[in-house]
Amino acid sequence: MTEFTLDLNEDQKQVRDWLNGFAKDVMRPAAAEWDEREETPWPVIQEAAKLGIYSLDFYAQQFFDPTGLGIPMAMEELFWGDAGIALSIVGTGLAAVGVLANGTEEQIGTWIPQMYGDANDVKVAAFCSSEPDAGSDVASMRTRAVYDEAKDEWVLNGTKTWATNGGIANVHVVVAVVDPELGSKGHASFIVPPNTPGLSQGQKFKKHGIRASHTAEVVLEDVRVPGGCLLGGKEKLDERLARAREKARTAGGAGERVKNAAMATFEASRPAVGAMAVGTARAAYEVALDYAKTREQFGRPIIDNQGIAFQLADMRTRIDAARLLVWRASWMATTGKPFTSAEGSMSKLFASETAKKVTAQAIQILGGNGFTREYPVERMHRDAAIYTIFEGTSEIQRLVIARTLSGMPIR
């Protein structure tokens, strides 16, 4: 088992510095423009593709880092550059992970390359799970997938919402209900190939923050996909549904254990979002620190005032504490240590709340300047709001932590 360490090895340091350079030289100069335009920053994604950052190979290398620190380190540096652009760069990874986790080798080899395209013809993908009435409550999902045995096709109907890259994606991965009686265990994931009739973009959301990332509804009206687009295949699905039905019949407790196993999967993914929040918080703190050192009032730098200095001390302390929680959870997930105290949710909760607090403090330190778009902390504060919402709200994280500590079932 890989021992936990706070020292990055030389390979990790090189990757960190490489990503930091890209974030500083490419992302930051473009951040304000794409935030104002509220459009996908295709030129920046293309540059990331040319450098090898926007690729499955890069994220696979970080994911398989035996220390578990590859992904959180990469997320922190990219989101230190700019949250909206970074989400446009990493958003395709959500769909790719869905295929990697559930697809066959043939499906992985066929669809993931089409999600990314290449440096000359960049593509994006979308993972479509949330619905207008089913966000945290996945059991309330209404999008249905019905199998047409005569044609060996699945017919999908429903509306998805909050889909990153929704409607503009080359490939959509859609989660749908195949057996309503089984609740969340009756779901399956489907590939919707490019230009499939019946799939359309619904409302594109005009957001408070992360505005360089495209977020929209995806409408599915009698969308027919080949049987081979069911991730994992029908035989595997039928076996899984049969096991779920049997457990539901024989013991109610078994169903709870299955749900808890699913929650463990979400626990393992939450530290990555925490790392994104750490990146945004660190960026805002650095702007505030530099400003406090150079801005003079009453004949001296404002950092000489305890009211400012103590705020900066608290900001740095919270950022370092958040990073440590994220790294601990990431290491635990990689090395197979169980999250007996919901450590994944802890890291996401603390880091996301830290990002909101630190970016607000940065605005306060900059005063009137911080409230204008001439300085980036205003944008960072708007971006930070999303971290306490997506991948499970802060309220959901607290619920997961509390129920884990008390031994109550997590639904």
Topology of domain 125-250 in CATH is Butyryl-CoA Dehydrogenase, subunit A; domain 2 (2.40.110)
CATH architecture of the domain with residue range 10-122: Orthogonal Bundle (1.10)
Pick the closest to residue 277 from 78, 46, 141 (CA basis). Answer: 78
Using 70 as the pLDDT threshold, list the residues of the chain that sit under it. 1, 134-139, 251-268, 409-411
pLDDT tens by residue, 266-276: 556 789 999 99
CATH superfamily of 257-406: Butyryl-CoA Dehydrogenase, subunit A, domain 3 (1.20.140.10)
Domain ranges of the chain: 10-122, 125-250, 257-406
pLDDT tens by residue, 228-285: 999 999 999 999 999 988 887 775 544 444 343 334 445 567 899 999 999 999 999 9
Pick the closest to residue 128 from 86, 156, 89 (CA basis). Answer: 156
- Report percent pLDDT > 70 for the chain: 93
Q: Which listed residue (36, 149, 391, 395) is catalytic? A: 391
Note whether 380 and 81 are within 8 A (CB).
no
pLDDT tens by residue, 118-142: 999 999 999 999 898 866 666 678 9
Give catalytic status of residue 10 as yes or no: no
Q: Six-digit token pair at 70? A: 């590859």
Q: What is the pLDDT of residue 258?
A: 38
Q: Six-digit token pair at 52? A: 């090898």
